[in-house]
Amino acid sequence: MHTYIISDLHLTPERPNITKAFFDFLRDQAPLAEQLYIIGDLFEFWIGDDAAEQLGAAPVLDAMKAISQVTDCFFMPGNRDFLVRQSFTERTGFKILDDESIIDFYGVKTLLLHGDSLCTDDLAHQQFRQTMMTNRAFCDGFLSLDVPSRIEQAKQARLQSAQHKSEVSMGIMDVTEHAVLEAFAKHGVSQMIHGHTHRQNTHHYKVEGETVIRYVLGDWGETNSVMRVDKAGIEITNQAI
Ligand code: MN
């Protein structure tokens, strides 16, 4: 028995090879797992469940629906697909998880999160989280716009995001140790798993004399990044795309 965790595929019709790699994963690997977690930024952007067909996401949603019939599937929104709603669950069969969920993986209490909440040096992003991502009134207002208006605003946001990334240092866009240690302390867990930074790695920390571990998934591009969790532990593999 094992579980797969993936994140940061950033699916878009502009990168059909990544979508194909996702379909291959869902066909060949995911059915063998008892659970599948996608922990954010599955999509390059998501402007509402009702716009999915128009943006060409229907085949992805169909494939998700199919795997959810055989494997228990969960979706945690990231900072690019935070606008998924209950209708997404009905369409895909994936249950939606809150950011910062505690999951018991084979007896180990684990903090699962997308990861952007840990990037506390990135003040512009934290402001975006506060005023837009986690602001119900903002989200409801945006979702009430017609689809062409939402597409236009999303384009602007993507341009701003690209500009922001080119302006701030790589260090600022990584997690801060302070935020990581605070999250370990707050949730009282010995391991956490996240994506977002695209810096696949395994980090060890000492908290009150105990070793705790932070696992970071990579994004999908030249290779995929697939975490396999079972009783024996956690490993991340990368296959060429
Ligand atoms: Mn992200």
Domain spans of the chain, in order of start: 3-238
| Ligand 1 centre distance from Cα of residue 209 (Å) | 31
| Ligand 1 centre distance from Cα of residue 28 (Å) | 26
Long-range contacts of 137-145 (CB under 8 A, 24+ apart): 139/82, 139/83, 142/47, 142/48, 142/83, 143/48, 143/83, 143/85
Smallest CA-to-CA distance from 106 within 1, 237, 219, 222 is with: 1
Q: Tens digits of per-residue pLDDT, 180-235? A: 999 999 999 999 999 999 999 999 999 989 999 999 999 999 999 999 999 999 99
The pLDDT of residue 157 is 85
As a whole number of angstroms, the distance between CA 38 and CA 61 comes to 13
Are 169 and 73 in contact, with CB atoms under 8 Å apart?
no
The pTM (predicted TM-score) of the whole model is: 0.96
Q: Tens digits of per-residue pLDDT, 104-132? A: 999 999 999 999 999 999 999 999 999 99
| Ligand 1 centre distance from Cα of residue 178 (Å) | 19
Q: Tokens representing 168?
A: 């701030």
As a whole number of angstroms, the distance between CA 14 and CA 28 comes to 24
Average pLDDT of every residue of the chain:
95
Q: Tens digits of per-residue pLDDT, 152-163? A: 998 888 888 888
| Ligand 1 centre distance from Cα of residue 76 (Å) | 11
| Ligand 1 centre distance from Cα of residue 67 (Å) | 24
Are 241 and 224 in contact, with CB atoms under 8 Å apart?
yes
* DSSP letter (8 states) at residue 11: B
Pick the CATH number of 3-238 from 3.60.21.10, 3.40.50.2020, 3.40.47.10, 3.40.50.150: 3.60.21.10
| Ligand 1 centre distance from Cα of residue 103 (Å) | 20
Mean pLDDT of 50-64: 96
| Ligand 1 centre distance from Cα of residue 12 (Å) | 15
Confidence of residue 62 (pLDDT cuts 50, 70, 90): very high
| Ligand 1 centre distance from Cα of residue 46 (Å) | 12
Decide if pLDDT at 172 tops 80.
no
